[in-house]
Amino acid sequence: MSSIGEFEGKDIPESYYPKLVKELEPINKRLNAFLTISNPEGGFPFSVKDNICVNGVESRAGSRILKGYIPPFNATAVERMLNSGFGFLGKTNMDEFGFGSFGLNTEVPAKNPFDERYVAGGSSSGAAVATSILKYHVAISESTGGSIATPAAFCGVVGFTPTYGAVSRYGLIDYANSLDKIGVMARSAEDVRIVFDKVKGSDKYDTTCTDAKFTAKDKKKVFIIDQFTKGVDEKILSSFEKLVEKFKDMGYNVENREIRLAEKAIAAYYIIAMAESSTNLAKYTGFKYGLRNERFDEHYNEFFTKARKAFHKESKRRIVLGTMVRSASVRDRYYSKALKVRSLLLDEMNALLKEGFILSPVMPILTPKMAEAESLTPLEMYKSDMLTIPANLCGLPHISFPYAYEKGMPLGAQLITSQFNDYAIMDMVSKWEKDFEYRFKYNLGEL
């Protein structure tokens, strides 16, 4: 059921928005979904992940180093939402620059609305929490390696990551340019579709943005990938098996398949992501925007180094790793190799997806508590993205949706399809929604 359609069918008084903001503010203080809250001038409310520029509104990609950066322009996706009559509600919390799977790499982490002791997921933590607590709202979000699917799964909402290049990245504060995708979180696949239709399509400000036609080819076949169930928590697996049965009931032939390069994908992904992000983060030197170091009389090297202390630990780690993998002596061994592995994985995935969809859990682990997630080593954290990375590395459209509740916490599964077949997986989730009711703990802004 489309909440956008429902909302637009109603007569919304002007007083709705200030009331909504008033309702939201105290809860946001607890959950930290929003970094800024604005009073929309009308329209269906939408939020924007903090790494996507909104004209005149502080946009800092969850980072201290960009504190105070006020973009003088709108990201294309934001511009298109505003032009379509949606109302801007605020910027949502995230792991700094998108670096994280649990939403913890930020000043004040967002909390899971189902149980505040648990993480919201990352990096689009705030977008998922916002979608999970607001009755009428969609989130413009972004994924590089799983940053939409993961928090959507943890917070029990629908998270859609389109084909790479489907939505213009103009105005997106880069994490890794060849991997970043702007996508949507909502409470239904239908809402996702409405928003995707508004924001997609060629843009003269983004070379990589495509004007391809998006299709809805139903393939009648669903693949369960061996590597996507290996190492997955038993509890998740047992409820996932029930989901698979339901897909059989929905008329899909289910087959087990392999993605030979699935595990290698993690390494290839992180090499490319870090190589690109370490160049993107070079621009933060503390004087043209954001956090400002006023000691101009310091030599530029010291000046820059001092400013760059503001990065979160995880960012520093990725800058160093990214700089290493592209340094001349090992560039072929890591950076070029990873690009070739991506090429091989693309061949493998594209061939498989020609025949059918991939269905898998989103995360191999149950939603962790804050402290549990914090205790993971970086490599353990990176590896927890094993189910979302292959699709992200290959720019494949995928959608995450709630399919069960384990001790009151939502579980998320994902459907992956071939490039440009974005509508097909929205259709499938719409079908799923007919017999499965999503649960939410909050319904702020109810009419």
Partner 1 sequence: MEEKELSRLLKICRLELSEKEQKDIKKDIEEVVAYFDILENVDTKGTEVAYHPINVSEKLREDKAEQFGNVEGILKNTKTYRFYVVGPKV
Partner 2 sequence: MKIGLEVHVALPTKTKLFCSCSTEASEPNTSICPICMGLPGAKPMLNEKALEVGASIAKALNCKTQDTTSFVRKVYFYPDLPKSFQITQTEDAIGREGYLGIDSKKVGIRRIQLEEDPAKIIREEDYTLLDFNRSGVPLVEIVTEPDISSEEELREFLTELKSILYYLGVDIEKEFKVDLNISLGRNRVEIKNITGVKNIIDAERYEVERQGKLLKAGQEIAAETRSYNEAKMSTEASREKESEEEYGFIYEPDLTTYSTKGIELAKPVFASRLAGEYAARYNVSAKTLKELVLFNKDALSMIEHAKEKHDMKSIIASVELLSKYNMLDMKKERLERLLLAVEKGVYPDKETLSKLYKGEQVEAAGDAVDNKTIDKEIREVIKKNPSILEEYKKNPKAANFIVGQITKKYKVHPRMVSERLNEILSG
- Closest among 182, 208, 192 to 49, alpha carbons compared: 182
Cβ(341)–Cβ(400) under 8 Å? no
Task: Name which position in 135, 317, 331, 369 contacts partner 1 (CB under 8 A).
Answer: 317
Active site residue 147: yes
Token pair recorded at residue 307 = 């400013």
Cβ(154)–Cβ(128) under 8 Å? yes
Quick one: what does residue 23 bind among partner 1, partner 2, none, with the CB cut-off 5 to 8 Å set by partner type? none
Site string for partner 2, 142-181 (x = CB under 8 A): ---------------------------xxxxxx-xxx---
User: Tokens 């809402």 correspond to what residue?
Assistant: 191
Active site residue 123: yes
Task: Name which position in 206, 218, 422, 433 contacts partner 2 (CB under 8 A).
Answer: 206
Residues 6+ apart with CB under 8 A from 386: 227, 228, 231, 262, 263, 265, 266, 364
d(CA 125, CA 395): 21
d(CA 331, CA 62): 30
d(CA 88, CA 141): 13
**Closest approach of Cβ 336 to partner 2, in Å?**
10
Site string for partner 1, 366-405 (x = CB under 8 A): -----------xxx--x----------xxxx---------
Using CB under 8 A as the binding rule, the residues of this chain from 33 to 62 that contact partner 1 are 55-56
- Interstrand relation of 45-49 and 138-143 (parallel, antiparallel or unpaired): parallel
Task: Name which position in 108, 226, 300, 443 contacts partner 1 (CB under 8 A).
Answer: 300
**Closest approach of Cβ 250 to partner 1, in Å?**
29
Kindly state whether residue 12 participates in binding partner 1, applying the rule CB under 8 A.
Answer: no
Cβ(224)–Cβ(257) under 8 Å? yes
Identify which range of 150-158, 283-291, 353-361, 403-411 contacts partner 1 by CB under 8 A.
Answer: 283-291
Identify which range of 105-113, 154-162, 322-330, 393-401 contacts partner 2 by CB under 8 A.
Answer: 322-330
Q: Which of 147, 188, 277, 360 is catalytic?
A: 147
Q: Which of 3, 38, 101, 123 is catalytic?
A: 123
Kindly state whether residue 21 participates in binding partner 1, applying the rule CB under 8 A.
Answer: no
- Interstrand relation of 87-92 and 221-225 (parallel, antiparallel or unpaired): unpaired
Token pair recorded at residue 442 = 């909050």
Task: Name which position in 13, 249, 328, 371 contacts partner 2 (CB under 8 A).
Answer: 328
Identify which range of 143-151, 239-247, 310-318, 326-334 contacts partner 2 by CB under 8 A.
Answer: 326-334
Kindly state whether residue 279 participates in binding partner 2, applying the rule CB under 8 A.
Answer: yes
Using CB under 8 A as the binding rule, the residues of this chain from 182 to 221 that contact partner 1 are 204, 207-208, 210
Q: Using the minimum distance from each CB to partner 2, give the nearer residue, 204 or 213.
A: 204
d(CA 185, CA 160): 6
d(CA 251, CA 263): 30
Cβ(304)–Cβ(286) under 8 Å? yes
Token pair recorded at residue 32 = 């930290």
Active site residue 19: no
Q: Tell the burial category of 260 from Cβ atoms under 10 Å away from its Cβ (0-12, 13-18, 19+).
A: exposed
Give contact residues for partner 2 (rule: CB under 8 A).
Answer: 52-53, 59, 61, 66, 69, 71-73, 75, 169-174, 176-178, 204-208, 275-276, 278-279, 282-283, 285, 287-290, 296-297, 300-301, 304, 323, 326-328, 331, 335, 339
Catalytic residues: 49, 123, 147
